[in-house]
Amino acid sequence: MDKTPRTEPRQSWTFSRETNAEIRRAAETGIYDIRGGGSKRRLPHFDDLLFLGASMSRYPLEGYREKCDTSVVLGTRFAKKPIELKIPITIAGMSFGALSGPAKEALGRGASLAGTSTTTGDGGMTEEERGHSEKLVYQYLPSRYGMNPDDLRRADAIEVVVGQGAKPGGGGMLLGQKITERVAGMRDLPIGIDQRSACRHPDWTGPDDLEIKILELREITNWEKPIYIKVGGARPYYDTALAVKAGADVVVLDGMQGGTAATQDVFIENVGQPTLACIRPAVQALQDLGMHRKVQLVVSGGIRNGADVAKALALGADAVSIGTAALIALGDNDPKWEGEYQKLGTTTGAYDDWHEGRDPAGITTQDPELMKRLDPIEGGRRLRNYLNVMTLECQTLARACGKSHVHNLEPEDLCALTMEAAAMTQVPLAGTNWWPGKGGF
């Protein structure tokens, strides 16, 4: 037997097992990978910021006794009926079609119990959702599936979707498995086809046209409804400024970790900016226009807990929005379904083929049997609990910084753990008064 020492078999970093598997999959099928969810790569995030807390130079508020307000009003610029929320956390747009009817109902129940709003998605407004959502934001999307003036007037706010964080500049594709009879009927599509969604609105292009579109929407709804404009995090300074110039009441800014029901993996992982990097430029744009806190900024994309909420507010957001986290609260990717995830060739926490409609948790599906697995009342209770926990966490941090309202958190209450986070947020690196690009040390 040869005793010569052998080289350890070495996997390539560049051509990793994961990469090679994807090459083989592409070679076999001829189509790019489509999946749900947001970016899975490691990105600079709110974890890279810490609060300073009060001690000698500032005084904290007493928990549970001294009030720390969490209310937020969205749409104070032009709308006759702004939206008043008890908490600065809203439920992001997710379509009926992508989600089941009971899942939409659960979101409505949970959000209403917690005193916040839900949002429709690319598929129209359902009774499940309108009926159980005290405050409902109606998305106005390029596809206009199910769009009609009655639902427009039944909505509490209108969100014109220009883009989303998972795919700024992209349209969508919902594969045939989920275009059931009801979904097809609502979308005026043939049953079972792959739905191709446009990336631009059919009847306007650019902020100068959008201003006229907003005029039309306001004229149809008697200038009552707040008009939100949702953009994907790409060029947040300019996009925010142009949304304001086009006449928005609220700007919704969705960073790269924001989810999607179905998009090319290459798009999700390679387009857009991390949520953390988007906030500061957007706030700067609002401040430059004298519109900070007058046009509200809602930030979404990877918000998970009260700390994320508090940090987003400290950077200048007025509220945050959650999508993926809300689905997890309902039971998405729950370990109790591990056996079924294994059968689908995946595992708890990694399941992202939401577009295939075989969700063991019964949330991202139109399969009548799977749908039964989600009890909308129990789901609503879980979502309310989760929203309440996030709010309590956010208040805890705000009180520690001496704030009687969470909106009084400011960038100066933060320090950054990494050079990247410091550069992106212009929050000083911990232990310094400096961030990359700033003179002096």
Partner 1 sequence: MCGIVGLFLKNDALSPRLGDMLTDMLITMTDRGPDSAGIAIYGEGAEGVKVTVQSEAPATDFPGLDTALAAELGVPVTMKVVDTHAVLVVPEAQEAAAVAALEARGLRLMGVGQRMEIYKETGLPKDVAARFGIRAMGGTHGIGHTRMATESAVTTLGAHPFSTAEDQCLVHNGSLSNHNQMRRVLAKEGFHTRTENDTEVGATYISYRIAKGASLGEALEGSLKDLDGFFTFVTGTRDGFGVVRDPIACKPAVLAETEDYVAFASEYRALADLPGIEAAKVWEPEPATVYFWER
Partner 2 sequence: MQTIDMGTTELREVNSALQAAAKAQANEEYVIENPRGSHALAVGLDGTLSVRVKGPTGYYTAGMNKLATVTVEGSAGPGVAENMMSGTVVIEGDASQYAGATGRGGLLVIKGNASSRCGISMKGIDIVVHGNIGHMSAFMAQRGTLVVLGDAGDALGDSLYEARLFVRGSVKSLGADCVEKEMRPEHIELLKDLLARAGADAKPEEFKRYGSSRKLYNFNIDHADEY
Q: Which does 245 bind (CB under 5 to 8 A by kind): partner 2, partner 1, none?
A: partner 1
Q: Tell me how far the alpha carbon of residue 155 is from its chain's centroid.
A: 20
Q: Is 169 a residue that touches partner 1 (CB under 8 A)?
A: no
Secondary structure tally for the chain: helices H, strands E: 15, 16
Q: CA 240 → CA 189, 197, 437, distances in Å?
A: 34, 24, 23
Residue 143 tokens read as: 């596809």
- Other CB atoms within a 10 A radius of the CB of residue 149 amount to 10
Q: Are 158 and 135 in contact (CB under 8 A)?
A: no
Q: Are 112 and 131 in contact (CB under 8 A)?
A: no
H/E stretch holding 147 reads none
Q: Find the shortest distance in angstroms from Cβ 268 to partner 1.
A: 22
**CA–CA separation, 66 and 79 (whole Å):** 33
Alpha carbon distance, N-terminus to C-terminus of the chain: 63
Q: CA 248 → CA 22, 94, 266, 299, 424, distances in Å?
A: 42, 21, 31, 15, 25
**Contacts with partner 1: how many residues (CB under 8 A)?**
13
Q: Which does 188 bind (CB under 5 to 8 A by kind): partner 2, partner 1, none?
A: partner 2
Q: Is 235 a residue that touches partner 1 (CB under 8 A)?
A: yes
Q: Find the shortest distance in angstroms from Cβ 143 to partner 1.
A: 17
Stretch that binds partner 1, among 49-57, 204-212, 293-301, 398-406 (CB under 8 A): 204-212
Taking CB under 8 A as the criterion, the residue among 25, 153, 154, 200 binding partner 1 is 200
**CA–CA separation, 20 and 26 (whole Å):** 10
Q: Which is nearer to partner 1, 235 or 405 (CB)?
A: 235
Which residue do the tokens 């994907």 mark?
A: 232
Q: Is 23 a residue that touches partner 1 (CB under 8 A)?
A: no
Q: Find the shortest distance in angstroms from Cβ 194 to partner 2.
A: 5
Q: Which does 196 bind (CB under 5 to 8 A by kind): partner 2, partner 1, none?
A: partner 2
Q: Which does 235 bind (CB under 5 to 8 A by kind): partner 2, partner 1, none?
A: partner 1
Q: Find the shortest distance in angstroms from Cβ 81 to partner 1.
A: 24
Q: Are 310 and 68 in contact (CB under 8 A)?
A: no
Q: CA 53 → CA 57, 399, 413, distances in Å?
A: 10, 9, 7
Q: Which is nearer to partner 2, 245 or 304 (CB)?
A: 245
Q: Which is nearer to partner 1, 106 or 295 (CB)?
A: 295
Q: Find the shortest distance in angstroms from Cβ 29 to partner 2.
A: 8
Q: Find the shortest distance in angstroms from Cβ 242 to partner 1.
A: 7
DSSP for 358-425, please give it.
Answer: --TTSSS---HHHHTTS-HHHHHHHHHHHHHHHHHHHHHHHHHTT-SBGGG--GGGEEESSHHHHHHH
Q: Find the shortest distance in angstroms from Cβ 432 to partner 2.
A: 50
Q: Is 212 a residue that touches partner 1 (CB under 8 A)?
A: yes
Q: Is 208 a residue that touches partner 1 (CB under 8 A)?
A: yes
Q: Which does 222 bind (CB under 5 to 8 A by kind): partner 1, partner 2, none?
A: partner 2
Q: Is 78 a residue that touches partner 1 (CB under 8 A)?
A: no
Q: Find the shortest distance in angstroms from Cβ 234 to partner 1.
A: 11
Residue 12 tokens read as: 């390539």
Q: Find the shortest distance in angstroms from Cβ 309 to partner 2.
A: 36
Residues making contact with partner 2 (CB under 8 A) = 29-31, 143-144, 147-150, 152, 175-176, 187-190, 192-194, 196, 198, 202-204, 209, 212-213, 215-216, 219-223
- Other CB atoms within a 10 A radius of the CB of residue 61 amount to 19
Q: Is 238 a residue that touches partner 1 (CB under 8 A)?
A: yes
Q: Which is nearer to partner 2, 194 or 269 (CB)?
A: 194
Q: Is 349 a residue that touches partner 1 (CB under 8 A)?
A: no
Residues 240-299 that bind partner 1 (CB under 8 A): 241-242, 245
Q: Which amino acid is at 248?
A: A
* Contacting residues toward partner 1, per CB under 8 A: 200, 205-209, 211-212, 235, 238, 241-242, 245
